[in-house]
């Protein structure tokens, strides 16, 4: 490994990659304060305006595993720089847009740059000293949550007090700054899988399957879960993903090595990631609505969009505080214990939210606890993955894990959204989500967090040659010897 020669630069590397992850997350939440105004801003229908959000999700899902594999093949620094280009271009296109089509194109370009985070996490294994690796992984991995927590109130403030285009010009400046920092501070490391072939058929198959699956999940509520379009997309996703899996098992240099992914340690970590992603997003969907619902309902807290974002912001700060503690916990007891503890903390936060949902202070406290658990869990997942795969698959494996988290948030959004839309009450002739609907959403989040803890509990420990707690920095003996050979 090249960690010793880059040790003196590791602080700048970690800071740059954490800032890159935070910026990517801010871009994802950028349009949230504008959702209600998008139809008017873009002179389009509400259903067309939702594509501004959906497109980023779909493009990111397709591009993240491809970017991860290319990072292994041609170099992670090169791909980090490549990811910054569509982030900048997409931000500029959105800032200049006055209609829905260019806005969708710009948001799609922004989605192409979301592979920065798994690439950055994989790069840490190459350039950060072993004693700093766990805490560095935890910070960079948690940066997506930090950006989401801090980005929402910032975006709400800009949208409320300035022109909405300022949001996108600001993101263009941030993305440009990230590109400059990557150019000057990120070292070039030899590609671990150099010489292997890029699996273009695998990339197309996975992309097509994911588009069908995520499109059905994200638009099913609008189109109808029993509609021919939704069911057809689910059926196409099943066929395409099964065909993709068969191809990946046959090809010599797969996009995702399913044999590695099927190892119990990797497989269970990825399954737990889906549930943690679901659990995280349940609160992000329920609590802002509780804060913003009118007080006349008896359970809403009557906060503005900006005030709601400010009440949620300490959750992002907690992820920043907790992530280095998670790294120390991983060093002491292994990433499995950190993941298990994180999932249980998330569940405790939901329990707290059910008791304290009647006040803004209570919701703020609950989201701080939930996000603390998310910070622990998100920081441990890459450590579990990287301790179980060879160096030549680090970026691809991390990208696949990121994809599993995104799949969990998409399913969570669909399920919680369905619950909130079905459990309603009528006030002044208007149908709105009932208190029971919000409580059910929080209970589901709690239950899913408990399931993720149960999955984490059965993840097998890594077998080390020497006794002691499992280490996030070690690879299993067979893969390690193969790489070193």
Residue 462, classed as helix, strand or coil, is coil
Left if phi > 0, otherwise alpha if psi is -120 to 50, otherwise beta: which for 302? left
Length of the chain: 485
pLDDT in tens, 144-170: 777 777 777 888 788 778 888 999 999
pLDDT in tens, 78-106: 999 999 999 999 999 999 999 999 999 99
Residue spans of the chain under pLDDT 70:
1-8, 462-485
Q: Do the Cβ atoms of 448 and 316 come closer than 8 Å? A: no
Which DSSP category does 32 fall into?
Answer: G
The span from the first CA to the last CA of the chain, in angstroms, equals 13
Residue 484 confidence (pLDDT) = 32
Left if phi > 0, otherwise alpha if psi is -120 to 50, otherwise beta: which for 267? alpha
Q: Do the Cβ atoms of 67 and 145 come closer than 8 Å? A: no
Q: Look at residues 146, 152, 418 and name the one whose alpha carbon lies nearest to residue 282.
A: 418
């Amino acid at each position: 490994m090249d960690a010793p020669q880059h040790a003196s630069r590791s602080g700048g590397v970690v800071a740059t990659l954490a800032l890159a992850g935070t910026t990517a997350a801010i871009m994802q939440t950028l349009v949230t304060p504008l959702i209600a105004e998008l139809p008017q801003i873009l002179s389009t229908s509400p259903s067309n305006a939702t594509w501004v959000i959906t497109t980023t999700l779909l493009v990111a899902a397709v591009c993240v595993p491809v970017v991860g594999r290319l990072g292994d093949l041609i170099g992670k620094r090169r791909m980090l720089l490549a990811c910054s280009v569509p982030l900048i271009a997409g931000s500029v296109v959105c800032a200049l847009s006055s209609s829905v089509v260019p806005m969708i194109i710009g948001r799609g370009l922004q989605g192409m740059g979301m592979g920065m985070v798994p690439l950055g996490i994989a790069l840490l294994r190459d350039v950060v000293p072993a004693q700093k690796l766990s805490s560095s992984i935890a910070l960079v991995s948690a940066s997506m949550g930090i950006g989401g927590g801090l980005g929402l109130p910032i975006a709400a403030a800009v949208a409320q007090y300035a022109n909405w285009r300022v949001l996108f010009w600001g993101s263009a400046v941030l993305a440009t700054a990230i590109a400059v920092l990557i150019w000057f501070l990120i070292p070039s490391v030899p590609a671990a899988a150099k010489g292997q072939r890029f699996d273009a058929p695998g990339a197309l198959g996975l992309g097509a399957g994911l588009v069908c699956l995520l499109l059905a999940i994200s638009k099913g509520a609008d189109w109808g879960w029993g509609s021919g379009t939704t069911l057809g997309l689910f059926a196409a996703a099943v066929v395409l993903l099964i065909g993709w899996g068969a191809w990946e098992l046959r090809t010599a240099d797969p996009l995702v090595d399913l044999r590695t992914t099927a190892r119990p340690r990797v497989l269970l970590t990825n399954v737990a990631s889906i549930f943690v992603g679901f659990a995280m997003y349940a609160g992000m969907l329920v609590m802002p609505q509780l804060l913003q619902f009118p007080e006349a309902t008896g359970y809403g807290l009557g906060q503005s969009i900006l005030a709601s974002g400010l009440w949620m912001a300490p959750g992002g700060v907690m992820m920043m505080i907790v992530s280095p503690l998670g790294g120390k916990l991983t060093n002491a007891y292994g990433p499995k214990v950190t993941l298990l503890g994180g999932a249980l903390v998330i569940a405790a936060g939901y329990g707290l939210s059910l008791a304290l949902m009647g006040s803004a202070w209570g919701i703020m406290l609950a989201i701080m606890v939930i996000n603390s658990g998310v910070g622990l869990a998100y920081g441990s997942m890459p450590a579990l993955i990287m301790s179980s795969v060879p160096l030549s698959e680090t970026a691809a494996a991390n990208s696949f894990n990121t994809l599993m988290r995104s799949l969990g948030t998409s399913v969570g959004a669909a399920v919680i959204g369905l619950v909130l839309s079905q459990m309603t009450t009528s006030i002044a002739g208007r149908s709105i989500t009932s208190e029971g609907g919000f409580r059910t959403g929080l209970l589901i989040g709690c239950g899913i967090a408990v399931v993720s803890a149960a999955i984490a509990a059965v993840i097998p420990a890594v077998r080390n040659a020497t006794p002691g707690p499992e280490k996030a920095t070690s690879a299993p003996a067979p893969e390690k010897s193969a790489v070193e050979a």
